[in-house]
Amino acid sequence: MGAQAILYGIKNCDTVRKARQWLESQGVSYVFHDYRVDGMAGVSLERWVDALGWEVLLNRASTTFRGLDPADKVDLDPVRATELMKAHPTLIKRPVVEWADRILVGFKPEHYAELFDKK
């Protein structure tokens, strides 16, 4: 396969667990980056925002988002949303997987199968 996948998320997130189980069951080599343990160093958040748009990455349904000061939730743009996600990594939808030159947000087995050509 060549490149090693990087899976970003939080260890105790159910969706991240499902993604990890799928990767392991398919024999996909990956490194796990836990936002809470490993922090945001090395996270390509600006590149993700450029590639996918901040709207795809920002989890507005999260407890963290609901708990933000109302002023932080209005007039969001790429810069402000990126700053919020850096300050509060749990605002990033999970998981995010990078493999080769592709970035995928969320987990659906059929999307992972397509990404890793495991159909």
Q: What is the mean pLDDT of residues 13-33?
A: 96
Q: Where are the domains of the chain?
A: 5-115
pLDDT one-digit tens code per residue, 73-85: 999 999 999 999 9
pLDDT one-digit tens code per residue, 75-118: 999 999 999 999 999 999 999 999 988 999 999 999 999 999 87
The 3-class secondary structure across the chain, one letter per residue, is: CCCCEEEEECCCCHHHHHHHHHHHHCCCCEEEEEHHHHCCCCCCHHHHHHHHCHHHHECCCCHHHHCCCHHHHCCCCHHHHHHHHHHCHHHECCCEEEECCEEEECCCHHHHHHHCCCC
* Homologous superfamily of domain range 5-115: Glutaredoxin (3.40.30.10)
Residue 1 confidence (pLDDT): 42
Q: Which of 13, 40, 51, 52 is catalytic?
A: 13
Compute the mean pLDDT over every residue in the chain, rounded to the nearest whole number: 92
Residue 52 catalytic?
no
